[in-house]
Amino acid sequence: MFATPASPRVTRRVRPLDSVPLVVQLLAASLAASLAACASSNREAEPMSGASTPVPVRVQTSPEVVTTLNTMPTTSEANSAVVNASVGRAWSALADVYAELGLTPTQFRSGDYLLTVENARIKRQLGNVTLSRYLECGMGQSGANATNYEVTMNLRSQLRAVDSTHTEVRTLLDATARPVAVSGTQVNCQTTNALEQHIATTLARKTGGD
């Protein structure tokens, strides 16, 4: 018998990366970059979930004035209303509105229709109305702090012409209160929006509409 000769061993050699032509390497890198950019673009185009735009709520408060309560949260919210009067007529009457409240403005800016009262110190009442109607400063043993404490108030109103016969009035109020008879800690107050609405309603009454 004759012995069967052994099959020859075949060895495959893997070509190192350095032996791949440079043009082929560049084409592969460019293709990979294009695919990655497409994937990133698709992710960026996806809409955000849960996003919504707050809608202002308009509340009719009188035939002359519409008060807008803005539901969008902010650190300093101004109460907004529209009166049926030109901005010039409303500006002429705004100081009288503050005078009825017993407030003396510290700043008039006719250029942008801004009236400001700064650091007004008030006790118990403002314009014959108990301060607790306008402010919430917490409660003490004797009742509402807004009534029993000395209140330091900053108030400003600004007008903006909506059109020739309508004017927006925006009023911003902030205040603090401190005990009078005894030593105590100053407390921050929150507006009830009643004073801002009173200013807008009184302004509408004084201008009478155009």
Domain parsing of the chain, residue ranges = 57-207
pLDDT tier for residue 2 given thresholds of 50, 70 and 90: very low
Q: Mean per-residue pLDDT for 166-183?
A: 92
- pLDDT of residue 115 exceeding 60, the answer is yes
pLDDT of residue 117: 97
Of 4-8, 63-67, 145-149, 176-180, least confident by mean pLDDT is 63-67
pLDDT in tens, 14-69: 454 455 455 455 555 555 555 555 444 444 433 333 333 333 333 333 333 333 33
Q: Mean per-residue pLDDT for 169-183?
A: 91
Percentage of the chain modeled with pLDDT above 90: 56
Q: Mean per-residue pLDDT for 191-196?
A: 96
What is the overall mean pLDDT for the chain? 75
Q: Please state, in angstroms and rounded to a whole number, the distance separating the CA atoms of residues 209 and 101.
A: 22
Kindly report the number of other CB atoms within 10 A of residue 101's CB atom.
20
Q: Mean per-residue pLDDT for 79-108?
A: 96
Amino acid letter for position 79: N
Q: Which residue has the higher pLDDT, 117 or 17?
A: 117
pLDDT in tens, 65-90: 333 333 323 335 789 999 999 999 99
SS3 track for 110-166 = CCCCEEEEEEEEEECEECCEEHHHCEECCEECCEEHHHHCEEEEEEEEEEEEEECCE
- pLDDT of residue 157 exceeding 80, the answer is yes
Residue 45 — left, alpha, or beta (φ > 0 → left; ψ -120 to 50 → alpha)?
Answer: alpha
Q: Mean per-residue pLDDT for 194-206?
A: 96
Q: Please state, in angstroms and rounded to a whole number, the distance separating the CA atoms of residues 125 and 19.
A: 93
- pLDDT of residue 178 exceeding 60, the answer is yes
Q: Please state, in angstroms and rounded to a whole number, the distance separating the CA atoms of residues 29 and 102.
A: 78
pLDDT of residue 34: 56
Does the structural domain 57-207 have CATH classification 3.30.310?
yes
pTM: 0.63
